[in-house]
Homo-oligomer: A and B are copies of this chain.
Amino acid sequence: MIEPKTLKGFRDTTPELMIIKKEIIKKLEAIFESYGFLPIDTPALEYAEILLGKGGGETDKQVYRFNDHGGRDVALRFDLTVPLARFVSQHYNELTFPFKRYHIAPVWRGENTQKGRYREFYQCDFDILGTKSSESDIEILMIIKDGLLSLNIGDFSIYVNNRKILNSLLTKLDTTEKSAQILRTIDKLFKIGAENVYKELVDVVGISKKSTEDILKFLNISDSNKTGAVENAAIFSTLENYKSVLGKELSDPVIETEYIFKTLEKLNILKYFSYNPAITRGLDYYTGIVFEVYVKERMDFGSICSGGRYDNLTGLYSKTAIPGIGAAFGLDRIISLMEEEKILKLQGSKTKLLIFNLDDKLNPEYHKLASKFRENCINTEIIYEKQKISNQFKLAEKKNTPFVLFAGEDEIKNKKYNIKNIISGEESKLITFDEILKILKS
């Protein structure tokens, strides 16, 4: 006998959770499609060289990598961005640009397991490739807003920044050679607070106290503003101030950012967004706007959606530089949050009607009746074997089926049936199929 168990960091998705997961995916897919995004899929296994060409050391160690039967050095994908870059390079001539694609699929990382972190998890990516237009940035932001509203996830804030603004400032301060380190330090604001960001910039990164003060003042980063976020009208006054500090030559990124927020304002959806100069995103490949999303009452959950603009996704595989903007919903994190906040109730099933078994001889009739309900879009089950009525009611409760139908030989012959709503307790006796349908659909 072999003990039935899953690997450490892996888990089964039970029906209750799977129903929820499918529901969430369905809603997000409807939003993606409403903007003309197309679905794709790529193989779980790829050449290790393709997946790891761009990866840093930390990622490498987490990758499931082995030799296949043909001696090929292969690996399981650890994200959906690298496969996208390979896909777009490979299929470049077949695609119409701007190419808007979404991809919802599992990825694998052998990292240390923690609460809520698994070695197999779903990513839900959506990208617009082949354009530098701010309109595509705006569309990505609109989709995030629409997606989260459709999930009914509670009050959220989409923090947006533009990496190029800070780069302009660093150019002005003449500290561009350390820009990557500076960005990464500022990105820690949430975790370590403004004072420690200051210390790290001075002590670790080695920026002068004067420049550090200039940077933090410019970015509005102080202990009095814990998240760094700026909202509503303050966004535009902050950006105005940037322009005067940076001067005309260095202000293009500010104008670009201003245009995005002005458009969100015209669309009457500015309230869902904040400008947040402390959001810089760790990854080096972002080159323009970047964003993270937090549910206001549950900042502890971390960002549930993030991404940004990049200049060249496909540099490793193609001479053609393809710019774009991409984002990913943290599907597993969203599910955990919605479960904890009781936004989604775990359901036992999606069955509406359970037909009781009063007589095994009537089984062909029960099948026939069930078919008729199914043809009318009512999910229906029958009970295969006769058993005590009390047991049949117990089964209905266990399955969470709202309605049960019972019919013996006479009822079947006369085509009049009894149904009961097991939530309200309401019963209707000897009514026709059409009358039942009306009750079930109301």
Query: Which A residues contact B (CB, under 8 angstroms)?
Result: 1-8, 10-15, 18-19, 22, 33-36, 38-47, 49-50, 53, 61-62, 64, 66-70, 72, 74, 76, 86-87, 89-91, 94, 96, 98, 101, 106, 108, 110, 120, 131, 133, 135-136, 138-139, 142, 146, 262-263, 266-267, 316-319, 348-351, 363-364, 367-368, 371, 374, 377-382, 384-385, 395, 398-399
Contacts and interface: CB of A to CB of B under 8 A. Distances in A.
Copies of this chain, complex-wide, total 2
A285 to B, nearest CB: 16
Contacts of A44: 44, 76, 106, 108, 120
Contact of A364 (B5, B64, B263, B395): B263
A379 B36 CA distance: 6
B1 A138 contact: no
A10 B45 contact: yes
Contacts of A135: 363, 367, 382, 384-385
15 contacts: A2-B316, A4-B89, A6-B42, A12-B41, A19-B38, A22-B39, A33-B351, A36-B351, A36-B381, A43-B120, A45-B76, A96-B348, A96-B398, A263-B367, A267-B367
B43 A7 contact: yes
B15 A120 contact: no
Contacts of A316: 1-2
Nearest to A353: B36
Nearest to A54: B2
A38 B18 contact: yes
Among all A-B residue pairs, the 8 with the closest Cβ atoms? A66-B66, A15-B38, A36-B381, A13-B41, A133-B384, A10-B43, A135-B384, A4-B89
A374 B40 contact: no
